[in-house]
Structure 1
Amino acid sequence: MCTDLAAANCYKVEHLKENWDLVKQAKIYFVGGYHLTVSVPAIMALAEEAAAENKTFMLSLSAPFICQFFKDQLDQTSPYWDYVVGNETEARAFAAAHDLNTEDIPTIAKHMANLPKKNTQRKRTVIITQGTEPTVIAVQGDDEVKSFPVHVVNKDEIADTTGAGDAFAGGFLAGMAKGESIEKCVDMGSWLAKLSIKELGPAYPFPKQTYSA
């Protein structure tokens, strides 16, 4: 993947404060891990607002290099995670960076779920996608690690997997905003990811489709 962060590299917490009225109105905050390379203070401002007001804070691991090379910045945010989402490669990079000595996804997810947490009114939920394999869910304090099947896509229908993780996160968040169960949120994420990988680039089909279980 080749990216150019351009103006994003200039983002400061002051830019966020300029729009703080909108921040106060939001009930769910979602942060991509890539932003850990740019403005940790902006992320922490959202995280602290979420904890203080008992709002939902969700972070995406985004890429293995975030766990490898921005470990300290990532760890600064971890007490505020209500939800954290990543794929199996990112989860294993997290495990390696934290010397967990395991590549077992349920074990890693359970460890992440039980890290110290700032807002104790909400249990942390860890979501790890695994491509064609079931999505793993670990909840803080729960012994059982659950898994949910993904939506099947025929191999000849796959055009481009770029943005599949973002699509999953978007579908999952849509379910959260509607107050759906964790099972339904995961299914909505998988459904949107399925549509995304049938298109070139991080795109979705036209005309717009409506989710159905």
Structure 2
Amino acid sequence: MSVCLPTYVVIDASSSMKPHEAVLNATLSRLHYNLATNPRVSEFARVSVIAFSTEVHVVIPMSDMEQVPALPEVICGGGTEYGKTFDRLRECIEEDVRDLRMQNLSVLRPAVFFLTDGAPTDSRWQDSFRRLVDKGWARHPHVIAYGFGSAQREVLEKVATKALFIADGSDTESALSSAISGLLNSLIASSNTGEMRIATEVKGFEYVQVAQEYID
């Protein structure tokens, strides 16, 4: 039975990202190209791309990227709603894991790569986050967070369960590109070993050891 890592690329598309919209879309296209042209990785890491602002949009549902011709364009604008994002993620994981198992795949714990340049604009997001990473829910994911721009380290320390990367002052566009490269390197390393591996060397980012990991 083939092993599969459900992977969620969850990216901030709020109004603060509007000046960087073209670079965001170009960077996501590069991620798609690199996955689609590496069959070993795309077969192992099934990927969903989710953009969040005031609302949450599933840009690409869980897919083998080799089968996706192109990514739709992400349009930036609105607030930074963490709570809605975590609620939607939980729904997606529930559905996607079931569907992947129906394809006779052996499914690893999902991985969420959470990229943001700002603080949450909703006050009760932590309730939604607790439901997402509840150890009583068998499908609770690993969360790898990348913060840049005006993202708050103390907030992301509450979000990251597997690894945290904080930009060291690099401009948003460089940091975004580096974060996607780090994500891609993690997926390549994971596909080579058949289990979750994090690429901890990410240009322009400080790797922060996550003090408390959730028990698998």
Return the TM-score normalized by structure 1: 0.40
Greater C-alpha Rg: 1
Which is helix-richer, 1 or 2? 1
More strand by share: 2
